[in-house]
Amino acid sequence: MLPERKQVLIVDDEPNLRKILSAQLSRDGYDVLTAEDGEQGLAQLKEHHIDLVITDLKMPKVDGMTLLKRALEEEPDLPVILITAHGTIDTAVEALKAGAFDFVTKPFDKDEVRQIVSKALKTRELRGADATATPSGKGARFGIIGTSAGIAELYAILERVADTPTTAMITGESGTGKELVARALHEHSSRKDKPFIKVNCAAIPKELIESELFGYERGAFTGAVTSKPGRFELANGGTLFLDEIGEIPIEMQVKLLRALQESEFERVGGIKTIRVDVRLVAATNRDLKKLIANGSFREDLYYRLNVVPIRLPALRERTGDIPLLVEHFLQKFNERLRKKVEGAETEAMEILVAYPWPGNIRELENVIERAVLFCDTQRLGAGDLPPEIRGIPAMANVPLPEADLSAALASEGGLKEHVKVAMSRLERELVSRALQQTGGNVTHAARLLKISRKGLQLKMKELGLREGATDRPPERD
Ligand SMILES: Nc1ncnc2c1ncn2[C@@H]1O[C@H](COP(=O)(O)OP(=O)(O)OP(=O)(O)O)[C@@H](O)[C@H]1O
Ligand SMILES: [Mg+2]
């Protein structure tokens, strides 16, 4: 799944403040919705999935305090940040008692808002993780779902090693939950209040990896106009997660090995030796033994990292967990998409259990998300599952242009033209269904269609579908 963009709602009657805040938060990577007063704000909350609200206190119609209270009645976990003018501090305190996450006073500092927003979202995420892990108590611990032997073994390992400084090495196919387990190790250790820093070794260009990991001093290379700490330093006291460790360039491996063995290193261009206290967790979907055999991974580093090996089973090796996972994801996407799918029909579940899931849990999650979107009935049916899961080629479902094919083909256009027409019909159908099901929310529809929001807007234009063509108000941003 794509990294999820959080939706922030800004409620303020001052257009300027709305503009400044929206611009800043959009730049920070949030999707922003706005409202001019509390009444509009409440309407937006009903229409959209909102992760965080920033609201002014004094507004016409419904004021910030009422908005706060009503919003929390609907969703007690929703972080609400209040903006207050000087002199209304008493009200701010009252707001905190009523359950606001925090408040800022006008004129506010950009960085302060930024920090509060990210803290609020982080807190909510952690609470969310606990909430899914604990309440049902059904085969979920450490936020990891499963009751199969493989997962029981994983729980046992996590229990034993989570709160130790030992290096762990997580292996498993793509989408088996390596990152989830890395985070669980951190969250269940006494380091949990310290940073969890992730480095994706595959995503960093070879020549930058050393300065990313260890930092650099001013003047270390062209462009190093200031000095900067690396990820090791940032993770001090916490956990450093080296994802896709198999991709780390061989020249870097020696330096990494030394940093691990001695717990010390120097910044690039630096002479001072820096010591850190970091718990290391590494992950890979590559077979490191093979990489060692062909000379692209150092054996000594392998042994240093592989102190506690954690191997995550592929989903097809634990098909017994599929119904639990399906239930978990149904709940998750019901909530997110405001739907009420209660479960899966036997036939659909049989298909889900039989499918080999090359993309493992991530693929299952994506399939359920899509199925929930398209499901019009109480329970997921086989027909809600994508054709590749059901083993039917997608095109088999495309309605044929006309009953009498030979006549149609002979008349004009021929094969190419007819395929084109059928494809664009299919495209139109999928796009409008996605929009329908998300109540016209372009952001959510785009996420489900796995295209960018911009891409969807262009597509809608091309297909002549108007934004906000449903009976709901268009999104603002
Ligand atoms: N046992 C589980 N219970 C619930 N959710 C899970 C479980 N395992 C994985 N997931 C979910 O599946 C998705 C993929 O997991 P994750 O990103 O941890 O996989 P990964 O092994 O790191 O994949 P990749 O190798 O592609 O990076 C995530 O959304 C994660 O929350
Ligand atoms: Mg991963």
Whole-number pLDDT of residue 84: 80
**Nearest ligand for residue 242 CA:** 2
Nearest-atom number in ligand 1 for the CA of 285 is 25
Rg value, the chain, Cα:
26
Compute the distance between CA of residue 353 and CA of residue 84 in angstroms, rounded to an integer: 53
Task: List residues near ligand 1 (CB under 6 A).
Answer: 1, 144-146, 172, 174-180, 285, 361-362, 365
Does position 33 have pLDDT exceeding 50, yes or no? Answer: yes
Nearest-atom number in ligand 1 for the CA of 176 is 21
Mutate to test the pocket of ligand 1, among 170, 179, 196, 329 (most ligand atoms within 8 A of CB): 179
Helix or strand run (H / E) with residue 354? helix 346-354
The Å distance, Cα 339 to ligand 1 centre, comes to 23
The Å distance, Cα 258 to ligand 1 centre, comes to 31
Instruction: Look at residues 153, 268, 289 and name the one whose alpha carbon lies nearest to residue 222.
Output: 268
Whole-number pLDDT of residue 428: 82
Instruction: Provide the percentage of residues in the chain whose pLDDT is more than 70.
Output: 88
Nearest-atom number in ligand 1 for the CA of 140 is 3
Instruction: Scan for tokens 């990991």, then name that residue.
Output: 213
**Nearest ligand for residue 362 CA:** 1
Q: What is the pLDDT of residues 285-313, one digit of tens each?
A: 999 999 999 999 999 999 999 999 999 99
Whole-number pLDDT of residue 210: 94
Whole-number pLDDT of residue 137: 44
Whole-number pLDDT of residue 468: 58
The Å distance, Cα 155 to ligand 2 centre, comes to 19
Whole-number pLDDT of residue 75: 82
Does position 131 have pLDDT exceeding 60, yes or no? Answer: no
- Determine phi and psi for 326, rounding to 5 degrees: -60, -45
Considering only CA atoms, which residue is closest to atom 8 of ligand 1?
177
Nearest-atom number in ligand 1 for the CA of 180 is 18
The Å distance, Cα 289 to ligand 2 centre, comes to 20
Whole-number pLDDT of residue 120: 85
Low-confidence winner among 72-76, 388-392, 445-449 (lowest mean pLDDT): 388-392
- Determine phi and psi for 396, rounding to 5 degrees: -60, -20
Compute the distance between CA of residue 114 and CA of residue 24 in angstroms, rounded to an integer: 9
Does position 8 have pLDDT exceeding 90, yes or no? Answer: yes
Does position 476 have pLDDT exceeding 50, yes or no? Answer: no
Whole-number pLDDT of residue 233: 93
Hey, what long-range contacts does 379-382 have (CB within 8 A, 24 or more apart)?
379/341, 379/342, 379/343, 379/344, 379/345, 379/348, 380/330, 380/341, 380/343, 380/344, 380/345, 380/348, 381/345, 381/347, 381/348, 382/345, 382/347, 382/348, 382/351
Q: What is the pLDDT of residues 146-181, one digit of tens each?
A: 988 889 899 999 988 998 999 999 999 999 999 999
Residue 245 CA neighbour count, 13 Å, CB half: 29
Mean pLDDT of 354-375: 93
Which residues contact residue 262 at a Cβ distance below 8 angstroms, ignoring those fewer than 6 apart? none
Q: Assign 409 a pLDDT band (cuts: 50, 70, 90).
A: low
Residue bearing the bigger pLDDT, 449 or 245:
245
Residue 449 CA neighbour count, 13 Å, CB half: 28
Compute the distance between CA of residue 13 and CA of residue 34 in angstroms, rounded to an integer: 10
Mean pLDDT of 451-462: 87
Which residues contact residue 346 at a Cβ distance below 8 angstroms, ignoring those fewer than 6 apart? none
Number of residues assigned to the chain: 477
Write down the mean pLDDT value for the chain.
85
Considering only CA atoms, which residue is closest to atom 31 of ligand 1?
180
Q: What is the pLDDT of residues 88-114, one digit of tens each?
A: 667 777 777 778 888 787 777 788 888
Which residues contact residue 112 at a Cβ distance below 8 angstroms, ignoring those fewer than 6 apart? 104
Mean pLDDT of 442-454: 86
Whole-number pLDDT of residue 246: 95
Compute the distance between CA of residue 167 and CA of residue 145 in angstroms, rounded to an integer: 23
pTM for this one?
A: 0.60
Nearest-atom number in ligand 1 for the CA of 283 is 22
- Determine phi and psi for 472, rounding to 5 degrees: -100, 160
Cα distances (Å, whole numbers) of residue 131 to 85, 136, 171? 35, 9, 27
The Å distance, Cα 132 to ligand 1 centre, comes to 15
**Nearest ligand for residue 143 CA:** 1
The Å distance, Cα 235 to ligand 2 centre, comes to 19
The Å distance, Cα 241 to ligand 2 centre, comes to 10
Residue bearing the bigger pLDDT, 105 or 29:
29
Whole-number pLDDT of residue 4: 67
Q: What is the pLDDT of residues 370-396, one digit of tens each?
A: 999 989 999 999 999 988 888 754 444
Q: What is the pLDDT of residues 305-346, one digit of tens each?
A: 999 999 999 999 999 999 999 999 999 999 988 899 999 999
Mean pLDDT of 419-448: 81
Q: Assign 238 a pLDDT band (cuts: 50, 70, 90).
A: very high
Whole-number pLDDT of residue 405: 63
